[in-house]
């Protein structure tokens, strides 16, 4: 090959190399812009290493997600009092829960507050007795001894979806078993106390935020069959001053609070914490 041809081929290779380098550089810039700037830069001069804001929706979020939000201590930032979520028991019965409060109940392990407390919006389809009979005069009595706690709610717990059961946290509950004496229990599912609902006494816990701000009758009145049935009275876990025979309940209109025999039938509205 002559010296002249060698020079010509050298020029051709140099030109082709320059063209190839230009093409590769242009493609790289295109992909960089297409992918949002890379390295946290979307081309607008701002550092975008901060993860995008996540939107939470209580009604559709998984129970695992809700539990993570609750444990973060920031549940109030993402959810609101009164937010609702419906599940089906293993029997097929639908139950709608709503957020009653944030950081309200004491975890039974002493580690602090449960992030979220939920309660039924309405009542179970079936009515139950708090206890099948009055307690004998010489027998232990109170919320801890009732069949509605130890049998009914214990059974309903097993009917909840597995994903929900796994994130329910046991909390400490204080319950009056006469006008002045109280007992302490550890509960996963619980009935509400007179004070938690009505707010007239703090001996068994303070009133939940939902009931403190939703005072009209229609915000407190509850209906059987998850709202599809008739209105009904529903019992608290609070025993009255008549000791072993009567328990407080909200009337079917939820306008007044009354006492009834523990062996009477009542609507059931239970709560739990996450």
In a domain, 23, yes or no: yes
Same domain flag for 7 and 132: no
Domain that holds residue 118: 63-273
Same domain flag for 143 and 261: yes
- How confident is the model at residue 86, as a pLDDT? 98
How high is the mean pLDDT of the chain? 83
Q: What is the dihedral of CA 62, 127, 219, 96, to 10 degrees?
A: 10
Q: Where are the beta strands (DSSP E) in 158-256?
A: 171-176, 182-187, 190-191, 234-239, 246-250
- Distance from C-alpha of 148 to C-alpha of 235, rounded to nearest angstrom: 10
Which pLDDT tens digit goes with each residue over 103-129? 999 999 999 999 999 999 999 999 999
The domain tally of the chain equals 2
- How confident is the model at residue 54, as a pLDDT? 77
Q: What is the mean pLDDT of residues 148-173?
A: 98
Q: What is the mean pLDDT of residues 17-42?
A: 44
- pTM equals 0.78
In a domain, 251, yes or no: yes
The residue out of 52, 74, 95 marking a domain boundary is 52
Same domain flag for 134 and 198: yes
**Is the four-CA dihedral 30, 33, 39, 41 of positive or negative sign?**
positive
In a domain, 192, yes or no: yes
* Lowest model confidence (mean pLDDT) among 78-87, 106-115, 122-131, 248-257: 248-257
In a domain, 57, yes or no: no
Residue 217 has pLDDT above 90, yes or no: no
Task: Report yes or no: 208 and 197 within 8 Å, Cβ to Cβ.
Answer: yes
φ, ψ at 73 (rounded to 5°)? 80, 10
Contact partners, residue 82, CB within 8 Å, separation at least 6: 98, 99, 210, 214
Nearest to 237 by CA among 195, 207, 208: 195
- Distance from C-alpha of 46 to C-alpha of 232, rounded to nearest angstrom: 59
């Amino acid at each position: 090959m002559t010296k002249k041809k060698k020079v010509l081929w050298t020029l051709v290779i140099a030109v082709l190399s320059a063209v190839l380098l230009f093409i590769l550089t242009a493609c790289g810039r295109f992909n960089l812009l297409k992918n949002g700037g890379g390295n946290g830069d979307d081309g607008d001069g701002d550092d975008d290493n901060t993860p995008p804001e996540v939107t939470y929706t209580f009604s559709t979020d998984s129970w695992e997600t809700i539990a993570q939000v609750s444990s973060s201590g920031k549940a109030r930032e993402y959810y609101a009092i009164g937010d609702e979520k419906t599940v089906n028991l293993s029997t097929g019965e639908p139950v709608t829960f709503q957020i009653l409060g944030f950081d309200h109940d004491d975890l039974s392990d002493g580690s602090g507050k449960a992030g979220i407390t939920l309660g039924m919006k309405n009542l179970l389809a079936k009515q139950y007795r708090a206890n099948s009979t009055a307690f004998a005069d010489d027998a232990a009595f109170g919320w801890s001894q009732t069949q509605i706690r130890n049998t009914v709610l214990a059974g309903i717990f097993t009917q909840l979806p597995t994903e929900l059961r796994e994130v329910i946290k046991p909390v400490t509950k204080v319950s009056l078993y006469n006008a002045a004496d109280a007992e302490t229990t550890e509960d996963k599912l619980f009935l509400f106390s007179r004070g938690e609902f009505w707010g007239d006494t703090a001996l068994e816990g303070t009133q939940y935020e939902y009931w403190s701000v939703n005072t009209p009758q229609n915000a407190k009145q509850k209906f059987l069959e998850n709202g599809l049935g008739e209105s009904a009275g529903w019992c608290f876990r609070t025993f009255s001053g008549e000791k072993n025979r009567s328990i407080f309940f909200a009337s079917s209109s939820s306008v007044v609070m009354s006492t009834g025999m523990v062996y009477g039938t009542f609507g059931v509205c239970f709560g739990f914490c996450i």
